[in-house]
Structure 1
Amino acid sequence: MKTFASVLMVALLAGLAGAHNAFADNRDPPPPPTDWVSEELREHPLVGKVWSAHDKSFVDLRDFGKALALARFVLLGEVHDNPDHHLWQAWAIRTVSKLRGSRIVEGAPQLDIVAMEMVRTDQNEALDKFYGRNVAVPRPRKARDFARMLKWQESGWPDFKIYEPIIDQALYAQLVIVPASVSRDFTRRLSKEGEAALVSGEADRLALAQPLDGKLAEALSTEIKDSHCGLIPGKAIPAMSFVQRFRDATMADSLLSVATGKGGILIAGNGHIRRDRGVPWYLEKRGVAAQAVVALKLAEVSDGKNDPEDYIERSPEGSPSADFVVFTPQTKRDDPCEKMREQMQKKFDKDKS
């Protein structure tokens, strides 16, 4: 016959076991988003894997999640129209919030903001309304309110539905979404006037006055030319390079808007999160230690390209442009160069008429 003491001991041991399991589970990141939305190359051998560019090896999700959570600034790249990339970004926000909130990672800074390339400084008034900053009792908001109040459908970015998981996770984690881009009008002015468009001292403050190394500057020019399918005239590239540098510097500045010791996440295209000449370069020039930043590239796999190292761009000195790479299927899309040719032809015909 079971005594009260033996029953109590069994219950106590069961409770301890449950607590241990809960603690163990709490150390693990959430399940990864591997119910792929993108249709192309789902069976590719790299799909769903995480690659450490420094260790040159695959890493498990626990180590990957911990590396993200330990950094002060987490830079999450993307191919803009790939929905799986936004699901992984949302996963990263949830993972970092969970591990930091549970105090599982010692010394990790408090996460305060999510800076987004897709949000501009001229939308700050809409953000104030979204967060109810000027009202006595703010209304609870949802992701669809964000899209409506910031007029996402007019922004030129892909359908909000694929960005919605990011906003959902930011709101759930009580993180503040902040702009990481300036207005389109100011961007156009920059392309015409260059550094002269900036107020006095701004280039120095943003670290724009410090030139890129010659090889890095040349690589940036080549990337701009290639990304525009070789259709832009050579004389336009210096101005476009300056605009790209300004955008990277502005994104770094948006992260540095947090209080001392606090942290943030950046959502931006893969080109912006490059360690060699992107946002991390400007953070480092402004005093942020390299180890306080982690850069994640979200890469679409290519047919016949099975070596993870082939997806990592490197600086002229051989340093990887990202710390980690997550591999996803490809999104089915039209030829971007053909689309660009059509747009440029329409512009040419309009200017001619």
Structure 2
Amino acid sequence: MKSRHWIVPSLAAALGGIGYGVAQNMSSAQMANTTPAAPAVRESLAQAETPGTSDRVSLSYRRKGDENFAEVKVATVEPFGGASAVEHHIAARIAATSEAHIAGETALASKGSDHPAQNGASAFLRKVAAAGDAAASGDQTDAAPAQAPAFETTRLSSRLIDNDEPAWQSRFFADNPLVGGIFQGDGNRSDAQRLIGAAKSARYVLLGETHDNPDHHRLQSDIVSDLADQSTDLALVFEMIPHRLGDAVASFGTSRSSSIDLDSMADRLEWSDRGWPEFSMYRPLFETAKRQGLSVEAGDLDRDVVSAIARNGVSGLSAEERARLSLDGAADPAMIADLGEEVRSAHCGLMPEAAIMPMVDAQRARDGSLAAAMVDAAKTGDKAVLIAGAGHVRDDRGVPSIIKRNDPEAQTLSVRMMEVADEDGDLADYGLTAEAPAPYDFTIFTPRADVDDPCEALRARLKGKAGTASE
């Protein structure tokens, strides 16, 4: 993989964004069954801090964000022979099972759960208890179960600051040396503390994602939570919400926010019908907005506007709309050519050439719509944060460049969450060099969520459309 990976947005972004309207116009639970902790272990837990209990194992487990327990004494079912050896096995088992359900619960509550028994100290205590029970029974196997990692208790940004090893949900190439690393555009290594500090100083923060990567949404949620801790006068602008559905999120940031039903939010936003990945990945952002009193704003163009641009170009828009979308001035020919090549590559060279420039116009219009929503949101608050595909947040020609023209005195920060391509750990292959810096202030590397060839899926889709049209 060479530098094209930082100038070409993901296919998912292109199809979910600039492609969906234009192309149409042109062509027509991780572990279900778990074994509960033995009753004897539950009884031992109940007695763990009772004076006079004989301690077999003593493990300190307190983590950031847990309740203020300094240490918990765990009594196991049977006495041990060689306590230090058993304690080693228990510690190993806890590490190995940090990705698994213990007593029907995960190390962190499942997505969307607010039940206190499923979070933090209580969940970890159950994990310790199950490990102790297994060690006491002689089962000292250290092999980790083959399943996706669970969320960790502490925020991922905090874990990166502390140089802990994050538990990733994406499965592919997690051992790449770049994974978990934070870098500036020129390839200089940075860290989460500097990133969060820069985000707190900026008026506009743009968080670019690969739409179907769950770790990207975890990172976004961590950053937004950190920013919300400083100020609740903050708005979240979503690429995934078109203007016509703005009423569905109008209660966020108001006195009516406590009555928002997040369980029905995906249906109200027509989330899956419009082709976005599972809402559960984005839900923590909406939960933070509800809990912290943040407003949520629609950022994207409506599909009929994209279709009009596909048919007639930007000249088909009213003068007022062109001005709102920052399309009323002459475009840089070099930028148009570069964006055209990006669209061409993102669609695997399979789109008709006649479709490329309408897609370029649609991409520019969508960037203008997102920028306008960000500027409007920041007028009534301290800060606006954009949740969008990585192609939209590049600062050379995406949303940041438009914001800088419309609000030149304000500080803007763009952050790209980027999947590693394979085991390659060379920064230059990802466009992070001092000679030609990437068009982002920060890049955070994550494992890859999917290794399927997206071009094969697009070929099948276009072939299916062609077959339907010929019938």
TM-score, normalising length from structure 2?
0.62
Q: Which residue of 1 aligns with 2:328?
A: 209
Instruction: Report the Cα distance in structure 2 between the residues aligned to 1:111 and 1:53, rounded to whole angstroms.
Output: 29
3-state DSSP of counterpart to 1:51: strand
Whether 1:330 and 2:452 are equivalent positions in the alignment is no
What letter matches 2:183 in structure 1?
W
Amino acid at match of 2:382: K
1:178 aligns with 2:294: no
Partners in 1 of 2:301 and 2:339 — Cα distance? 21
Q: Which sections of structure 2, spanning at least 5 residues, go unmatched?
A: 1-155
1:4 aligns with none
1:312 equivalent to 2:434? Answer no
| Cα offsets for 1:242-272 (capped at 9, x unmatched) | 0000000100001011226632000000100
After superposition, give the CA deviation of every residue in 1:95-154 in whole Å (9 maximum; x if it has no partner): 1222x33xxxxxxxx7421000111111023234x5597xx9665225323223223232
SS in structure 1 of the partner of residue 444 of structure 2:
strand
Alignment of 1:195-206 (within 5 A): 195-206=314-325
Kindly indicate whether residue 386 of structure 2 is the aligned counterpart of residue 266 of structure 1: yes
Indicate the larger mover: 340-349 or 261-270: 261-270
CA change 1:313–1:212 in 2 (3 A) is farther
Say if 2:173 is the partner of 1:41: yes
* SS in structure 1 of the partner of residue 205 of structure 2: strand
Aligned partner of 1:11 in structure 2 is none
Please show how residues 57-76 of structure 1 align to structure 2 within 5 Å: 57-76=188-207
Partner secondary structure for residue 275 of structure 1: coil
- Equivalent residue in structure 2 for 1:151, among 256, 270, 274: 270
Provide the rounded CA distance (Å) in 1 between the counterparts of 2:215 and 2:200: 21
Within-5 A mapping of 1:97-136: 97-98=228-229, 100-101=230-231, 111-128=233-250, 131=252
**What secondary structure is seen at the aligned counterpart in 2 of 1:271?**
helix
Q: Are 2:221 and 1:90 aligned?
A: yes
Alpha-carbon deviations, 1:281-328, whole Å to 9, x = none? 111221334x610000100012243123432379xx945310000000
Return the alpha-carbon distance in structure 1 between the equivalents of residues 381 and 387 of structure 2: 20
Question: Which amino acid is the alignment partner of residue 339 of structure 1?
Answer: A
Residue type of the alignment partner of 2:314? E
Task: Report the TM-score, using the length of structure 1 for normalisation.
Answer: 0.81
Change (3 A) 1:281 1:131: closer
Whole-Å separation in 1 of the counterparts to 2:252 and 2:185: 38
Give the whole-Å Cα distance in 1 for the aligned partners of 2:328 and 2:428. Answer: 33
Structure having greater relative contact order (Cα 8 Å, sep ≥ 6): 1
Counterpart Cα distance in 2 of 1:153 and 1:114: 20
Unaligned 5+ runs, structure 1: 1-27, 102-109
Residue in structure 2 matched with residue 15 of structure 1 by the alignment: none
Give 1:344's match in structure 2, choosing from 439, 462, 466.
Answer: 462
Distance 1:323 1:181 in 2: 23
Larger-gyration structure (1/2): 2
SS in 2 for 1:268: strand
Structure-1 residue corresponding to 2:20: none
Instruction: Please give the root-mean-square deviation of Cα atoms over the aligned residues, in Å.
Output: 2.5
Tell me if the contact between 2:185 and 2:438 (Cα under 8 Å) persists in the aligned partners: yes
Residue 399 (structure 2) aligns with: 279
